[in-house]
Amino acid sequence: MRNLLTLLSLSLSLGPYLILAQSSDSNTNKEEPSVLDTLFGGIFSDISGSNSSDDPLPSTQAVTDYQSFILPNDFEITDQPQLREYNFEIKLIPFENPNRTATANPDGFTRQVYTINGQFPAPVIECNTGDTIRVHVKNSLDIPQTIHWHGISQNGTNVMDGVPGITQCPIPPGGSFTYEFPIIEQYGTYWYHSHFANTMADGIAGAFIIHSPNDKLKRGTDYDEERVLLIQDWMWDQSTDIVAALKSPEGYRGSPGAPKGDSILINNIGQTNCSSPNYPEGAECNPPRPAEIPVIVGKKTRFRIINIGAHSMLRVSIDQHEFEVAEVDTDPVFGPTIHEVPIAPAQRYSIIVDANQGKAGDKFWLRANVAAGCMDKVKQDGLAVFRYTNNNEQYDDGDETPDTQPWNDLAEFDSPCRDLDDQYTLTPRDPIDAFTKPLQTHALSSKFGTFLGMQGQNITGFAFNNISFQNQIWDPMLPHVIDSGHYSVDNVATVTFDCDGYVDLILNNLDAGIDHPYHLHGNEFQLIKRGDGNLTVEEAQAMDLSTITNPLRRDTIFIPGNAYAILRVRTDNPGVWALHCHIGWHLAVGKLATMIVRPDDIKNFDQPEDWKGLCAGQNPDEEGPARRSISSSNPASGHLRSLREVKNRIISRQGPRDE
């Protein structure tokens, strides 16, 4: 927490960008703001109460520090490694009061959120290549949790990858665990998030920025300033309620399909549609002013854009400003200079924008529009103010908004969803030709349907190779492979590469009308080929795919329905690695597989005592997510509420109003 003078300074300089603190019941008028609310309104957002429309909202506040989106130029980029240590508490409450839960009003509707250290979104981690990251995580929620470090290779530290039921048992309520891993040779734009159910959609997500003297993009040469830009779709209902409904015969809001966001947040602020038929009846609707994104006039700014959302591909543009695409996921590229970039969930892009279209005080719309062609084909846009400043100072325009117009060549809102590499050439700045002919080739084919479960039951959801992931959350895969060198439980689709060299993984998206962003843990892959249809291993092996010059490298790829991609992976990182759709609602209903790399080497892995201790005393036959308490000896009840409770809660929060 900054000291009082720093808080006062930030409140004066950043006030217009931030959500003002509120103290209210969702069905009553707001109380007058306190002196602290007025003084620190630019730093704190309201985080009190729960998101049920008839629950009281006692006043409590959590930090929303928008200064963290401005990466400081005085961060020392060095090749001298150091230990960077953090203490994270995942909690509903920023202060020790068990009668208060955490809520925020990022878009006009006040709902329950999860925080790290009382912050929403979670704190930014910034480090250098070679550093060791040590994060002490205390789980003060009443549900289990894990943290996944998205894009980090975890070479030699597979136990720290943070996937419950795959690489670890989750941290139980009231429990703690320390994640520790070195940053080996990597740099670029990463992020971290909860990997328990889809609770990252409730606020547990933050940027993870790695610098290096070897970065091909140089501060002071390629750009002058750096910003983090978090974009996401946002739901009014709690993720656990949505998942429970999706798993029910009735579905969520009457549909088995993954929900479209109720609003779009840009750096944690959005504007909800108060007249939406889904807006909770009787709840106040007070959309904040759009987020302001400050840039220094006359300077080039590198925006590290991260889609931390649960479903929507978002197309980002800035009125009157073209930009250069300079990083894809974590790799610097020579990319196009364009007006709009599509970003699927979990993907990252760096764009370089020149603030050369006016003077300090001028403002333009920054747009994050839903690519609705792969959703419900209903237009949905997000807006923020792209503000020219001299030194990130405040401009008081009242309710005045930019009058700029979008570029006339932007994609239509309902046009087909396509990854950027499917439209432009993206050439890595650090050239590496396609690895030699693969020693092994395997395929993972994914689709929606009804599948046979481990207990002979029918499961409706997503699957890889006709196996819908059933998470044995207290009996993870990795310890089994360490002990025996293989995994024989049919709860998750698995491919095994036992060679030391290069391999091809074919991803077939067999869903005719559903596009998916696929993320591979622990490995950066070369994108060797895209195509339409269902590709077999034999067909891939018959292709000449050994002489490809400098293919794109990334860790998350967007594949349209009825299409495939061939990923080439170097098997220099033994481990059990998850591969899953990063639409969180799809993952929650089975869309996860695993890739086991060099199982004989995995048998030599150490098993830290605190890591093993997370599983102690738990029921290995229980399918997660599930509620667990380290202090209770009674059989744990399921975390998800009864279907009747969930159904009644959701029905009461939707439908047209009487007025």
pLDDT of residue 648: 37
Domains of the chain: 66-130+185-428 (2.60.40.420), 440-629 (2.60.40.420)
pLDDT of residue 80: 97
Does residue 53 surpass a pLDDT of 60?
Answer: no
Residues 185-198 have pLDDT tens digits of: 999 999 999 999 99
pLDDT of residue 644: 34
Please count the residues of the chain: 659
Residues 367-377 have pLDDT tens digits of: 999 999 999 99
pLDDT of residue 94: 45
| Spatial separation of the C-alpha atoms in residues 129 and 530, rounded to whole Å | 32
Listed as own residue / partner, the contacts of 544-548 with beta carbons closer than 8 Å and 24 or more positions apart are 545/434, 545/437, 545/438, 545/504, 546/434, 546/436, 546/437, 547/434, 548/433, 548/434
**CB 403 within 8 Å of CB 383:** no
Does residue 50 surpass a pLDDT of 60?
Answer: no
- Where does the pLDDT of residue 118 fall: very low under 50, low under 70, confident under 90, or very high at 90 and above? confident
- Where does the pLDDT of residue 64 fall: very low under 50, low under 70, confident under 90, or very high at 90 and above? low
**Choice among 25-29, 86-90, 307-311, 565-569 with the minimum mean pLDDT:** 25-29
**Choice among 418-422, 452-456, 523-527, 584-588 with the minimum mean pLDDT:** 452-456
Does residue 125 surpass a pLDDT of 90?
Answer: yes
- Where does the pLDDT of residue 101 fall: very low under 50, low under 70, confident under 90, or very high at 90 and above? low
Residue 28 to residues 235, 649, 652, Cα–Cα distance (Å):
22, 20, 18
pLDDT of residue 436: 82
Name the residue among 370, 216, 385, 405 with its Cα closest to residue 290. 385
Residue 171 to residues 40, 87, 637, 650, Cα–Cα distance (Å):
34, 15, 17, 29
Does residue 16 surpass a pLDDT of 80?
Answer: no
Mean pLDDT, to the nearest integer, of 58-65?
A: 47
Angle between helices 239-246 and 643-651 (to 10 degrees): 110
Does residue 384 surpass a pLDDT of 50?
Answer: yes
Mean pLDDT, to the nearest integer, of 442-470?
A: 95
pLDDT of residue 65: 65
Amino acid identity, residue 183?
A: I
Q: How many CB atoms sit inside 10 A of residue 614's CB?
A: 24
Residues 581-634 have pLDDT tens digits of: 999 999 999 999 999 999 999 999 999 999 999 999 999 999 887 543 333 322
- Where does the pLDDT of residue 32 fall: very low under 50, low under 70, confident under 90, or very high at 90 and above? very low
pLDDT of residue 317: 98
Does residue 319 surpass a pLDDT of 80?
Answer: yes
pLDDT of residue 103: 76
Main-chain dihedrals φ then ψ at residue 374, nearest 5 degrees: -105, 20
Amino acid identity, residue 59?
A: S
- Where does the pLDDT of residue 529 fall: very low under 50, low under 70, confident under 90, or very high at 90 and above? very high
Name the residue among 392, 418, 232 with its Cα closest to residue 296. 392
pLDDT of residue 62: 45
- 472 or 52, higher pLDDT: 472
pLDDT of residue 305: 98
Does residue 337 surpass a pLDDT of 80?
Answer: yes
| Spatial separation of the C-alpha atoms in residues 596 and 497, rounded to whole Å | 6
Does residue 29 surpass a pLDDT of 50?
Answer: no
Does residue 200 surpass a pLDDT of 60?
Answer: yes
pLDDT of residue 505: 98
**Choice among 30-39, 268-277, 594-603 with the minimum mean pLDDT:** 30-39
Mean pLDDT, to the nearest integer, of 230-235?
A: 98
pLDDT of residue 435: 82
Does residue 397 surpass a pLDDT of 90?
Answer: no
pLDDT of residue 93: 53
| Spatial separation of the C-alpha atoms in residues 640 and 642, rounded to whole Å | 7
- 295 or 95, higher pLDDT: 295
Does residue 145 surpass a pLDDT of 50?
Answer: yes
Residue ranges of alpha helices (H) inside 16-65 are 35-40
Does residue 47 surpass a pLDDT of 60?
Answer: no
| Token pair listed for 231 | 């974009």
| Average pLDDT of the chain to the nearest whole number | 86
Mean pLDDT, to the nearest integer, of 534-548?
A: 94
